[in-house]
Amino acid sequence: MLRTKKKIDEIFQGVIDENRSEDKKFLIAGTETSATAIEWALSLLLNHPDILKKARAEIDAMVGKDHLADEPDLSKLPYLQNIINETLRLFPPAPLLLPLESSKDCTIGGFHIERGTMLLVNAWAIHRDPNVWDDPTSFKPERFEGRENEAYKLLPFGIGRRSCPGAGFANRVVGLALATLIQCFEWERIGEEFVDMSEGQGITVPKAKPLQAMCRARERMINVLSEL
């Protein structure tokens, strides 16, 4: 009986340790990719002040100055979502998505894929394909306005049954963080030169040079910020 109980305890402890490990992986993956996406988005906005101004006007009109942007406000900020979509198109945090394995022999694009082959989807290349996107290397959030079909070509989180389970959560995190940064602060580049948009090395493709920018609290948000 004691041996059985000990064995059961070991099994349960193993399950707990495994779950903790998986939770840690999800936490690290979710925070790093979201932080990377926010840094790319803010860098793009600093290089396109007219787009930043338009996003701020939308937030001021739909959220106001009496409270910080909250999750229910995101549905009222379509232009902000377009900015996020365009950022994820140009700089998907995981450009090769997650590796998959073919379950059977198949032919894709004229190439024979054997069962058991590891497959990598190059989202970065698809998002910049001129046969798929108009002016693919330019930052144009307006390309998503009133064009639901454009969203179906966007796959920073994969697509179908094997897509990232945290896509909705990531969109909310990035949306809330970016909305708050725009709502509460005036942002400027350090100098007249554009922010360097070179890509660094890594699974999540960070910026080669971390973003440096100047910001100051907006006067209209001083009361809200002072209460934090």
User: Which residue shows structure tokens 């396109």?
Assistant: 48
CATH at 219: 1.10.630.10
Strand-strand pairing, 185-189 and 213-217:
antiparallel
Please, what is the angle between helix 2-47 and helix 78-90, to 10°? Answer: 100
Predicted TM-score (pTM) of this structure: 0.84
Distance between CA atoms of 20 and 26, rounded to whole angstroms?
10
Quick check: is 5 in a domain?
Answer: no
pLDDT of residue 105: 93
pLDDT of residue 150: 64
Quick check: is 176 in a domain?
Answer: yes
Distance between CA atoms of 179 and 217, rounded to whole angstroms?
14
Assigned token pair, 20: 């903790």
Per the structure, the count of domains in the chain is: 1
Quick check: is 106 in a domain?
Answer: yes
Contact (Cβ atoms closer than 8 angstroms) between residue 180 and residue 215: no
Quick check: is 1 in a domain?
Answer: no
Distance between CA atoms of 32 and 205, rounded to whole angstroms?
10
Each residue's pLDDT expressed in tens, for the chain with a length of 228 residues:
444 434 444 544 554 444 444 444 445 555 778 899 999 999 999 999 999 999 999 999 999 999 999 999 999 999 999 999 999 999 998 888 888 888 999 998 888 999 999 988 899 999 999 999 999 999 999 999 876 666 678 998 888 887 887 788 889 999 999 999 999 999 999 999 999 999 998 778 889 999 999 999 999 999 998 888
Please give the positions annotated as active site.
33, 157, 164
Quick check: is 121 in a domain?
Answer: yes
Q: Which residues contact 205 (CB under 8 A, 6 or more apart)?
A: 36, 91, 92, 93, 94, 95, 124, 199
pLDDT of residue 21: 47
Closest CA to 183 of 35, 83, 56: 56
Quick check: is 2 in a domain?
Answer: no
Quick check: is 3 in a domain?
Answer: no
Residue numbers of the domain that contains 35: 10-226
Distance between CA atoms of 44 and 197, rounded to whole angstroms?
8
